[in-house]
Amino acid sequence: MSMYDNLNSMQQEAVFHTEGPVLILAGAGSGKTRVLTHRASYLIEEKGVNPWHIMAITFTNKAAGEMRERIDSLVGFGSESIWVSTFHSTCVRILRRHIDRLGYDTNFTIYDADDQKILMKDICKRLQIDTKIYKEKSFLGVISSAKDELISPEEFTLRAAGDFAKEKQAAVYREYQAALRKNNALDFDDLIVKTVELFQNDAEVLDYYQERFRYIMVDEYQDTDTAQFHLIKLLAEKYRNLCVVGDDDQSIYKFRGANIKNILNFEEIYPDARVIKLEQNYRSTQNILNAANSVIANNVGRKAKALWTDHPEGEKINFQQFETAYEEADYIAADIRKKVSENGGHYGGCAILYRTNAQSRLFEEKFVVSNIPYKIVGGINFYARKEIKDLLAYLKTIDNGRDDLAVRRIINVPKRGIGATTLGRVQTYAEEQGLSFYQALRAADEISTIGKAGMKIRPFVNFIQTMRSKVEYLGVSKLLQEIIEETGYVAELEAESSDEAQARIENIDELISKAVAYEESEESPTLSGFLEMVALVADIDNLQEGSDYVVLMTLHSAKGLEFPNVYLAGMEDGMFPSYITIISDDPSEIEEERRLCYVGITRAMTDLTITCAKQRMIRGETQYNKVSRFVKEIPETLLGGMARSRQKPKETSESAGQSFRQASSKVKPIFSTRNSYQSRQANSFASSSTDKITLEYGSGDRVKHMKFGEGTVVQIVEGGRDYEVTVAFDRVGTKKMFASFAKLKKV
């Protein structure tokens, strides 16, 4: 019996069709790695291809390592000659031999992210760019995006003509690239770009590698960017034996530069391409696959296909809607414990998937209390994240100032220009006088060895003392908001305009939500009490090591994985998809989010639970969101649990207002930390104004907000010299705001 007899008919076709361009559309769980490894074996054993002429390329070292191991086990002798590598490793090997033809030395240095930041900081200083306005990370992001699209500094400059901001970016790009060349260095994007440039400019080198790689296989083709597309196209140009494997329905890395058109337009580039669909799934039950198929079918930009399986139909998808996110976390924790204690399951068979890292906090806290072992993948413990530790260090310093580590952590956050030498002398003084580090800072004027540096220390001490005087009447959450605003912590992150900065802002928002929730749950909330609670929750060192733990991760991190039991949490419009995506004018943004939902659903093998909450605290503000449109795209016949409680797709303004009024009686008014922290400024406005503002609308009227769009006013509450207005917006759910800041217009 041949090893190929174990493949299904479509897998066999993908293995046996070796000549010319081939597009393998491999649905989730359809055995694509198995196809690629068997294809390599078939080329050698049945077609007589020299292993030297075969290339298999993918994205991660883990994927490349797994492919190498499986090819070695199938092929045996000679398999080491097959080139199995990642894109970047492939390009490094080529450039080490030939980059001298581009004017570089072959011993070039590869700059990592930290090296890039240092270089960019120097360039901004050299070009006299104010990095408080134009962030180094923002420039690096623009340059990376340009390189993904093979846009050179010269072309970028031409395109920027007449646009002041882009002209500044062009100047930085030119200087950055010149500095790299001067230093004989490449960044990670350059590894691809320079290899493409080498092939385009040197026919001899290109011909050598075209002869070397006569059979090319590319995994995860839907994740390739424009530069990687051109790299592969050049390599395959001579023999055209190019086999790409991917799934357009799992293209979820647009934010990293992935271009879905590479896989969608493959047949336009190669009109003679054979297209083979792998639709048989070996992972999930048919009910799970039917749910995934029904969701992704709503996308327009895709190749038609539908997953099916020989597995049993399985249980219906368990859909649960809760009043609050806390109830959601309670339910999931209890359900996991039940699976383990009553049904003989394992913690390691359970995964909780969510849209943003900030959502992990409630689950972390619930699991610690419930003694459920867990591990966060693609992130770190919520309270161990830098931005959270920074802000908690401020609170600790304000609380008693005896935590030297906390004081040292924030003495230069934000940067205050207090040097290491000065801090060392303060520490020496503290040790000599038997003082804490903060006490020594307060006595900086008495430390003769620090000279004028004492003037830089004084504002920090004054700030901490001022915050201490406000603790009792501000409370924890408003104290935290004032720290954030006065230090400019969030403002600096917003100025970066990067995905990383946005994620950090979301974590800060979640910390404020935690502070507000603490104040609501305690009769006599105190700063010390809040810090004590956080310390207990964050202490997870006693959790057992090993593989038997619940996995928490974002949906992006989950791609390529599978679990018997999957929980998709926070499935609400406004969370997933996000309200920014909902109000976007670009329909491709919603399609990308829908693909992400498809990825989440297809991670489940036997049991899928989808949860959402009617109200959830985001950025310290209680928001009321509808069930995610993606959940509504799943036929109710596939749903168990509370399927019939789903909100109808076209909920009326009247019903939205009624649901809001029912919920609002249980929740205190809370305001966002964004937009210069509306609640604090609104209170300031109310105390400083002499005349009460006049409203041109009333309850029941239709109004328009410049950011949230149109909605219906459901409640107006008089408060001082301002009004607290509640609006059920059509696209982003129900929100509260002060009238003076909302600037609502009647429509």
Query: Which residues are the active-site residues?
Result: 32-33, 219-220, 250, 603
| 306/710 Cα distance (integer angstroms) | 37
Cα→Cα distances 672→45, 344, 619, 666, Å: 65, 44, 5, 18
Please tell me the distance from the alpha carbon of residue 128 to that of residue 675, in angstroms, as a whole number. 29
Q: How many CB atoms lie within 10 A of CB 69?
A: 12
SS3 126: helix
Give helix 386-399 / helix 489-496 axis angle, nearest 10°: 170
Whether the CB-CB separation of 588 and 413 falls below 8 Å is answered with no
Residue 128 is classified by DSSP as T
Kindly give, in sequence order, each residue whose CB lies less than 8 Å from that of residue 308, ignoring residues fewer than 6 positions away.
Answer: 279, 280, 281, 286, 289
Residues with Cβ < 8 Å from 448, sequence gap 6 or more? Answer: none
How do strand 709-719 and strand 722-729 relate by DSSP bridges? antiparallel
d(C-alpha 24, C-alpha 31), whole Å = 11
Phi, psi dihedral angles at 55 (to 5 degrees): -130, 135
Judge contact between 331 and 320, C-beta under 8 A: yes
Residue 215's SS3 state is strand
What tokens were used for 510?
């979640």
Helix (H) or strand (E) holding 526: none
In the structure encoding, which two tokens stand for residue 718, read together? 């008089």
Helix, strand, coil shares, percent, the chain, to 5: 55, 15, 30
- Estimate the crossing angle of helix 454-487 against helix 674-688, to 10 degrees: 90
